[in-house]
Amino acid sequence: MWYVSTRGMAPRVDFEGALFSGYASDGGLFMPEELPQLNRETLCQWSTLSYPGLVKELCALFIGSELIPKDDLNDLIDRAFSRFRHRDVVHLSRLRNGLNVLELWHGVTYAFKDLSLSCTAQFLQYFLEKKEKHVTVVIGTSGDTGSAAIESVQGAKNVDIIVLLPKGHCTKIQELQMTTVLKENVHVFGVEGNSDELDEPIKAVFADTVFVKKHNLMSLNSINWSRILVQMAHHFFAYFQCAPSLDTHPLPLVEVVVPTGAAGNLAAGYIAQKIGLPIRLVVAVNRNDIIHRTVQQGDFSLSEVVKSTLASAMDIQVPYNMERVFWLLSGSDSQVTRALMEQFERTQSLNLPKELHSKQERQEYEQMCDGCCVELGPGNCGPRRGSGIPRTARGRVGG
Ligand SMILES: *Cc1c(COP(=O)(O)O)cnc(C)c1O
C-alpha cells in the first residue's frame, strides 16, 4: 500500500513513511493511493469480529505484511489495548428509540484518542526498535491529545515526548494526567498563553527542517495517517452493532453522528464509507462551526477567534483533516485540492468551488454531512437522532 500527498507534489511513501512524516513535504496530508473495496462477503465476515479484531483487519489492509507481518501486527494491537478498562475495549450502549452511544472512553485517559494513539505508539516503537532509532514527539495540547499521547509512549525507550500545555487552559484532571507521569521520557512544560498562541512556536520548530531532522522530531496529532486508520474501526464496529441484519440488498444504512473538531474521526468515517461501509455521516460541531458552514454554504473560512466551550477538544479553528475530505470529494484530484488549500492558507477563506458541488459529489457531500449541526454546550446538548454515535470522553463534553 502506497500513500500519496493530497497536494500531489511529494513523493509517495509506505505506511512507515506516512507514520513518521505528519505532513507531506508539499504541505499536504497522506492518503492511500488506492482505496480497497470491501465486498459484502468481507463485510459479513468482519461483522462478527471484536473491536480489536476489526482494528487488526483494517490495519492489515492498509499497512502491508511486508512492513509488519500479521502476527507481529496482532501482538502490537493486543498490547495497545491491554490497559483499557472495558473487556471489549469499545462498547455500544443501547438507548431508547434506536439511539445508541459508542463508548470510546475506556482508555487510560478517558479520551477516545487513547484508542488510536495507543496503536500508533506501538507501531512507532516497532519500527524504531527494528532500526535502533529514536524520535522525540513534540505536542502542543489543550488537553486530550497531550494526556493520551503521554500515556501511549510513557516508558518507551526509543521515544521521548515533550508536551507544552497552556497553563490554566486545560482541565485540572488533564493537567494532572500530564504532570504526574514520572517516567524519564516524558517532559511536560506549562506555557503562558492560549492554545492558539502555543501553536506558533511549535509551527516554527517544525518549519525548521534541518532542526527537525537533526533531532528526529515528530508530532502525533490527527494529521497522522495512523490515527485516522485506527479510527476507521469505530465506524465498522458501530455499523455491525447497529445494522439490524446483513441479509438485505442493499445492506442497511446506519447513521453515525460524529462530534468533530479537527475532522479526524470524520475523515476516518468518510474513508470507511468509501471502502464500502454503508454509513451516513452526520457532523456535530459546537460554536466553532467552520465545518457546519462548509457543508451548508460551501464557506470554508476561518472565524476570527476560537470560542471556548465545554467541549474544549472541539474548540478548533482549522479542521485540518477537511483537506482529506476535499481530496476524496474531488475524486482524489490533488491539483484541485492543492489549489484550494493554498488559497485557504493565503486568504484564510475559501468558497468551495462548483466542481465539488457537482451532482454526484454534492449528493455524497450531503449524505456525508446531512446539514445537521448540533451544538454541544450549555443549554443545548445532544444529537438530534442517529444510530451509532461515536461519542468522546464523557468528562469532556460534560465539562
Ligand atoms: C479530539 C477530540 C474531538 C475531535 O476529534 P476530531 O477527530 O479531531 O474531530 C472531539 N471530542 C473529544 C472529546 C476529543 O478528545
Q: What is the pLDDT of residues 282-321, one digit of tens each?
A: 899 999 999 988 888 889 999 888 888 888 888 888 899 9
Give the separation between CA 350 and CA 293, rounded to whole angstroms.
11
Give the pTM: 0.89
Q: Report how far apart, in Å, the C-alpha atoms of 88 and of each of 83, 221, 280 are.
A: 11, 25, 25
Please give the share of the chain, as a percent, with pLDDT higher than 90: 71
Pocket test of ligand 1: the residue of 173, 314, 375 to mutate, having most ligand atoms within 8 Å of its CB, is 314
Atom of ligand 1 nearest to the CA of 396: 13
Question: What per-residue confidence (pLDDT) applies to 141?
Answer: 85
Atom of ligand 1 nearest to the CA of 259: 10
Question: What per-residue confidence (pLDDT) applies to 295?
Answer: 85
Question: What per-residue confidence (pLDDT) applies to 80?
Answer: 98
What is the distance in A from the centroid of ligand 1 to the CA of 69? Answer: 31
> 309 CB under 6 A from ligand 1?
no
Pocket test of ligand 1: the residue of 265, 285, 320, 369 to mutate, having most ligand atoms within 8 Å of its CB, is 265
The cell numbers describing 203, all together, are 509551527
Give the separation between CA 294 and CA 371, rounded to whole angstroms.
10
Question: What per-residue confidence (pLDDT) applies to 394?
Answer: 27
Q: Which amino acid is at 128?
A: L
Q: What is the mean pLDDT of the chain?
A: 88
> 396 CB under 6 A from ligand 1?
yes
Give the separation between CA 138 and CA 149, rounded to whole angstroms.
10
Residue 82 banded pLDDT, cuts 50, 70, 90? very high
pLDDT digits (tens, 9 = 90+) for 185-237: 999 999 998 777 888 888 888 888 899 999 999 989 889 999 999 999 999 99
Q: Is 35 exposed, middle or buried (0-12, 13-18, 19+ CB in 10 A)?
A: middle
- pLDDT greater than 60 at residue 138: yes
Pocket test of ligand 1: the residue of 109, 112, 223 to mutate, having most ligand atoms within 8 Å of its CB, is 112
* 113 has catalytic annotation: yes
- pLDDT greater than 50 at residue 376: no
pLDDT digits (tens, 9 = 90+) for 42-71: 999 999 999 999 999 999 999 999 999 999
pLDDT digits (tens, 9 = 90+) for 332-371: 999 999 999 999 999 999 998 877 855 344 444 444 444 4
Cis peptide before 390 (omega within 30 of 0): no
- pLDDT greater than 80 at residue 8: yes
How many CB atoms sit inside 10 A of residue 146's CB?
26
Strand, helix or coil at 13?
strand
Residues in a beta bridge with 178: none
Pocket test of ligand 1: the residue of 105, 224, 260 to mutate, having most ligand atoms within 8 Å of its CB, is 260
Question: What per-residue confidence (pLDDT) applies to 199?
Answer: 80
> 260 CB under 6 A from ligand 1?
yes
> 313 CB under 6 A from ligand 1?
yes
pLDDT digits (tens, 9 = 90+) for 65-74: 999 999 999 9
120-134, 257-271, 372-386: which range is least confident on average? 372-386
What is the distance in A from the centroid of ligand 1 to the CA of 188? Answer: 21
Q: Return the residue whose CA atom lies nearest to atom 4 of ligand 1.
A: 261
- Say which residue the cell 495512523 belongs to: 226
What is the distance in A from the centroid of ligand 1 to the CA of 204? Answer: 24
- pLDDT greater than 50 at residue 380: no
Q: Which of 200, 385, 373 is nearest to 290 (CA)?
A: 373
Atom of ligand 1 nearest to the CA of 267: 7
- Say which residue the cell 468518510 belongs to: 270
What is the distance in A from the centroid of ligand 1 to the CA of 6? Answer: 22
Catalytic annotation, pick one of 113, 133, 167, 359: 113
Question: What per-residue confidence (pLDDT) applies to 259?
Answer: 93
Atom of ligand 1 nearest to the CA of 111: 15
Question: What per-residue confidence (pLDDT) applies to 357?
Answer: 59
Kindly state the DSSP code that residue 353 receives in the 8-state scheme: P
- pLDDT greater than 70 at residue 374: no
Burial 107-135 (b: 16+ CB within 10 A, else e): bbbbbbbbbbbbbbbbbbbbbbeeeeeeb
The ranges assigned to domains in the chain are: 1-119+226-399
Q: Which residues contact 268 (CB under 8 A, 6 or more apart)?
A: 228, 229, 231, 232, 234, 235
> 107 CB under 6 A from ligand 1?
no
pLDDT digits (tens, 9 = 90+) for 148-172: 999 999 999 999 999 999 888 888 9
> 314 CB under 6 A from ligand 1?
yes
Q: Return the residue whose CA atom lies nearest to atom 1 of ligand 1.
A: 313
The cell numbers describing 344, all together, are 485557504
Where does the chain show beta strands of DSSP type E? Answer: 3-5, 30-32, 91-94, 100-103, 135-140, 159-166, 186-191, 217-218, 254-259, 279-284, 388-391
What is the distance in A from the centroid of ligand 1 to the CA of 316? Answer: 9
Residue 151's Cα: distance from chain center in Å? 17
What is the distance in A from the centroid of ligand 1 to the CA of 277? Answer: 22
- pLDDT greater than 50 at residue 381: no
Question: What per-residue confidence (pLDDT) applies to 358?
Answer: 56
Question: What per-residue confidence (pLDDT) applies to 373?
Answer: 41
Q: Is 77 exposed, middle or buried (0-12, 13-18, 19+ CB in 10 A)?
A: buried
The stretch 21-45 carries a mean pLDDT of 94
What is the distance in A from the centroid of ligand 1 to the CA of 319? Answer: 11
Please give the share of the chain, as a percent, with pLDDT higher than 70: 89
Residue 379 banded pLDDT, cuts 50, 70, 90? very low
The stretch 118-124 carries a mean pLDDT of 98
Q: Which of 300, 297, 286, 224 is nearest to 258 (CA)?
A: 286
